[in-house]
Structure 1
Amino acid sequence: MDFISDTLILSRMQFAFTAIFHMLWPVLTTGMAIYLVIVEGLWLKTKNPDYYYHARFWAKLYVLNFGIGVASGSPMAFQFGTNWAPFSESVGDFFGSILGFEATMAFMLEAGFLGIMLFGWERVNPVIHYIATILVAFGANLSTFWILTANSWMQTPAGGEFVEGKFVVSNYFEGMLNPFMIKSVSHMFLATLETSLFVIGGISAWYLLKKRHQAFFTRSLKIVLVVAIAITPLQVYVGHLSAEQVYHYQPTKLAAMEALWDTIPAGEKADWSLLAAPNNKIESNNWEIKVPNALSYILEFKPRLSEPVLGLKEWQPEDRPSMVGLVYYAFRLMSGIAFVFVGIMVVSIIQWLRGKFTAESLTEQKLLMWAWIFSAPMGYLAVESGWIVRCVGRQPWVVYGQIRTADAVSNLPAGNVLTSLIIFLAIYTLLFFSALYFGSRIIRKGPNFDLPLPNATEVETPLDVNPAKHIPNSRPIN
């Protein structure tokens, strides 16, 4: 229990908890916003009201996540001034302005047009409404750009130099275009979209198993699958590129990701650790299952390494990640889920090509539908695991190679930090269960086919609506 008197540990725990919780919500809003752009665009093009009802239904889940994201994200920014004041003072000229851009450019853009997207269906021209939806999606994903730009700079600082402990900017754009930025932004963009696709697909599969609105949710599942055909393999490839940049710029992190204690020299074959039990005390693994020569191909697509892969023993314990086991298994969880998504996508495509992706046949494919349902939370696990690898693997540095985390924490009484941590735990727990409650209500209620169609003439009849009575053809909610 010594940690309760350690300000550094408590501050790290508080930031980790608030970051992990907050990440649950913008992951869905950034990706789902793109889905809303797709279905509303299809509505404008085809005048099929099915797409209109899709936009209205999924927008409810979007706004719920947006609200929780705003409520949970604000304390993270304040912590830079309260718990990490020395860090903010040192890098504020660059890092602070990047976070300011996220708030003024991205968040304000998203929030400013959100009202039109939600309530403007019968108040503005359909084209204007569609532009508002596009701007909401653009703003949401612009947030991803700025946040990942700031965090990438912490991984590979560029664009200036540290003078007497303070970062002096010499080239602002060089700082933004630091070595990690492009691949990191791409990786996170694809992660949010992929997670959102499998959440939408999982919810759609749940409806199909319940035999409710089968035609309606078969359509949403097909849209998800069409986009996933491109996204899931692309995410695996971009993830590989991200691992390559770790190999070149952050060798201590790579060593922790692979639980590699001893250096593998250039010109040697490198085995890949499939599973292991890292032990920091003995600086080795208690046991390990290896795939012969696989790491050489993973890193360089060659049978032998052209560069050495440095082991953790190359650095003193205080200069390398201490939580090797966490980084090691978080990386494998993230990577494993990516391949699970590819597998679900491939099986679904095969079924579609076999003519078994209709509303009638999908309800009978229980195993495939359950795979989609269980995939819904997997994207969150992959994203959170990726951030654990990214941030815990960077330790003991808050700015890699420049500022130690121990030197970046504010001089606060540990009791004060513990109190705020407990308060955050209580409030965020309330927010989490509130989100589950209202989210489940939205899902159980289902789409509302009684909503009037805005400025619609000569439209088709929605697939799940009885044209004579305008009553959804679905089973009642039990």
Structure 2
Amino acid sequence: MFEFDAFLLARIQFAFTVSFHIIFPTITIGLASYLAVLEGLSLKTRNPDYKILYLFWSKIFAVNFGMGVVSGLVMAYQFGTNWSGFSYFAGSITGPLLTYEVLTAFFLEAGFLGVMLFGWQRVGDKLHFFATCMVALGTILSTFWILASNSWMQTPTGYEIINGQVVPTDWFAVIFNPSFPYRLVHMGVAAFLSTAVFVGACAAWHLLKGNKTGPVKKMFSMAMWMLVLVAPIQAYIGDIHGLNTLEHQPAKIAAIEGHWDNSDGGPSPLILFGFPNMETERTDYALEIPVLGSLILKHSLVEPIPALKDFPKDERPNSLVVFWSFRIMVALGILMILQGFYSLWLRKKQRLYNTGWYLKFCLLMGPAGLIAILAGWFTTEVGRQPWVVYGLMKTKDAVSAHSDLQMSISLLCFFIVYSLVFGFGYFYMIRQMKQGPQLDDAHNTGSHEISTISGRL
């Protein structure tokens, strides 16, 4: 069993804080682009429904943005406080990349955010739209630099190791490392997909309550169209990302598949369900489909996929965790694809806004995208273990020299503060979503409402 020493507590603390934090950037990325689309459609069509939706979702965006900034700062400080070995070893790579994120992305977001939220009566329509687009661009650039840093930790290139420290020799190779393009697109599309089911759930709640005004219908319709377009694309991106992972991190793929042994030399099955056992080195109660594992990952009917026994015991990820986190992500992705395509059938039958069971299903699917992202990140990060920089530095060598008591107290403090602060933030966003779009918002600027929200926070 696990021993809760300082090393494990430091890992739990980082996992806890990143699990809280990742939700906020995900919603921020998706909502920022959604707001840009809404304002663009409002300017083009002059339909007040789009402005009503913009003003409604900009309130939620403002709260979410603030919580994302606060939780992100805490994570950055942990690199120095809890993972000083990693900072010493790889700081010359990760430090500049995070600095680029602040200079090119965060300043862009923060600089135009004020105009976006409070500039309705102070700037023209086109300049306000430009500010919204810059905020959306800032979120995408932020994703670019954060994933460049994290992807380098997964597939490091463009470096030399001098005196026990990583020294960059080719910044282009550092940034555009082998896994970066796949992970960037996969995460970006995941953010749009998560926002679509999130927005769709909000609209479904109001439709179930009998609120079938124009803005609510448009909100629901746009969310379902986004699902139809993006969910199948995400499945394809996930497949090619898996092939990239097979090439560069084969142990992670073996752990995800719960595949232990290639001694028979035959093709590998796809294990649908089971319980990988790290002690007995087998997957208990496995439900298998013969050959399908090789067909999916190797595109072959005879070539086996990597097996966990091909790797030393101390270099194997925890298969039980990544096996199930991956399947949770895939299962939710399949449900989102079905959700989107069934909306086409209901749209054709002109029953999209009136089918009660489907609206309830959409409401239940509201957190599905965020849960899938959390499951995907657990798959990625736990699957990289025992390495913090894959193949170069193990996680146990990256931790700071803290005592068990120090880490226990700090983890408890994080748990209490995060639960209170961000719990209130979640509650406030849900309360705003329950209020729904206000029809009279089309006749005001929206600045007063957002100012009131900011004051309350």
- What's the TM-score, normalizing by structure 1? 0.90
Q: Which moved more, 1:30-39 or 1:214-223?
A: 214-223
Within 2, Cα distance between the matches of 1:264 and 1:233? 36
Q: C-alpha displacement at 1:433, in angstroms?
A: 2.2
The residue identity in structure 1 corresponding to 2:343 is S
Pick the aligned partner of 2:395 from 378, 390, 405. Answer: 405
Equivalent in the alignment of 2:204: 205
| 1:437-465 Cα distance to aligned partner (Å, 9 max, x none) | 2113212322233236479xxxxxxxxxx
Aligned length: 445
Equivalent in the alignment of 1:332: 327
Tell me, yes or no, if structure 1 residue 319 matches structure 2 residue 309. no
| 1:14-63 Cα distance to aligned partner (Å, 9 max, x none) | 10100011111111110111111111110000011111111000111111
Within 1, Cα distance between the matches of 2:77 and 2:345? 49
Query: 1:25-40, aligned counterparts within 5 Å?
Result: 25-40=24-39
Tell me, yes or no, if structure 1 residue 348 matches structure 2 residue 343. yes
The residue identity in structure 2 corresponding to 1:269 is P
| 1:209-231 Cα distance to aligned partner (Å, 9 max, x none) | 00124432111111122222221
Larger radius of gyration: 1
| 1:394-422 Cα distance to aligned partner (Å, 9 max, x none) | 00000001000011111122221221111
| 1:99-122 Cα distance to aligned partner (Å, 9 max, x none) | 111122111111111111111112
Within 2, Cα distance between the matches of 1:214 and 1:112? 34
- Listed as ranges, the gaps of 5+ residues in structure 1 are 456-478
The residue identity in structure 2 corresponding to 1:443 is M
Equivalent in the alignment of 1:421: 411
Equivalent in the alignment of 1:137: 136
Within 2, Cα distance between the matches of 1:273 and 1:393? 17
The residue identity in structure 2 corresponding to 1:344 is Q
Q: Which moved more, 1:104-113 or 1:445-454?
A: 445-454
Q: Secondary structure of 1:63's partner?
A: helix
Q: Is the 8 A contact 1:225 1:345 kept in 2?
A: yes
Equivalent in the alignment of 1:301: 299
Query: 1:436-451, aligned counterparts within 5 Å?
Result: 436-451=426-441
Within 1, Cα distance between the matches of 2:405 and 2:387? 24
| 1:112-152 Cα distance to aligned partner (Å, 9 max, x none) | 11111111112110000000000001111211111111110
Q: 1:251 to 1:452 in 2, by over 3 A?
A: closer
Equivalent in the alignment of 1:45: 44
| 1:238-289 Cα distance to aligned partner (Å, 9 max, x none) | 01111111111111101110111113787x3221000011111111122100
Q: Secondary structure of 1:273's partner?
A: strand
Within 2, Cα distance between the matches of 1:286 and 1:73? 39
Equivalent in the alignment of 2:424: 434
Tell me, yes or no, if structure 1 residue 394 matches structure 2 residue 392. no
Pick the aligned partner of 2:271 from 270, 273, 278. Answer: 273
Within 1, Cα distance between the matches of 2:48 and 2:399? 54
Q: C-alpha displacement at 1:205, in angstroms?
A: 0.5
Q: Is the 8 A contact 1:278 1:324 kept in 2?
A: yes
Within 1, Cα distance between the matches of 2:93 and 2:226? 36
Q: 1:109 to 1:265 in 2, by over 3 A?
A: farther
The residue identity in structure 1 corresponding to 2:32 is A
Q: Is the 8 A contact 1:396 1:405 kept in 2?
A: yes
Q: Secondary structure of 1:376's partner?
A: coil
Q: C-alpha displacement at 1:163, in angstroms?
A: 2.7
Within 1, Cα distance between the matches of 2:301 and 2:201? 40
Q: Is the 8 A contact 2:215 2:437 kept in 1?
A: no
| 1:151-191 Cα distance to aligned partner (Å, 9 max, x none) | 10000000112233211211011111100000000000000
Q: Which moved more, 1:231-240 or 1:208-217?
A: 208-217
Within 2, Cα distance between the matches of 1:154 and 1:2? 25
- Listed as ranges, the gaps of 5+ residues in structure 2 are 446-457
Q: Secondary structure of 1:275's partner?
A: strand
Within 2, Cα distance between the matches of 1:44 and 1:265? 65
Equivalent in the alignment of 2:453: none
Within 1, Cα distance between the matches of 2:135 and 2:270? 43
Q: Secondary structure of 2:284's partner?
A: strand
Equivalent in the alignment of 2:281: 283
Q: C-alpha displacement at 1:431, in angstroms?
A: 2.1
Q: Is the 8 A contact 1:159 1:175 kept in 2?
A: yes
**Larger helix proportion of the pair:** 2
| 1:302-323 Cα distance to aligned partner (Å, 9 max, x none) | 3232xx42211122211111x2
Within 1, Cα distance between the matches of 2:3 and 2:280? 23
The residue identity in structure 1 corresponding to 2:277 is N
Q: Secondary structure of 2:440's partner?
A: coil
The residue identity in structure 1 corresponding to 2:315 is D
Q: C-alpha displacement at 1:88, in angstroms?
A: 0.7
Tell me, yes or no, if structure 1 residue 9 matches structure 2 residue 4. no
Q: Secondary structure of 1:289's partner?
A: strand
Structure 1 consecutive aligned stretches of length 4 or more whose deviation exceeds 4 Å: none
Q: 1:156 to 1:264 in 2, by over 3 A?
A: farther
Within 2, Cα distance between the matches of 1:341 and 1:64? 26
The residue identity in structure 2 corresponding to 1:402 is L
Within 2, Cα distance between the matches of 1:204 and 1:2? 44
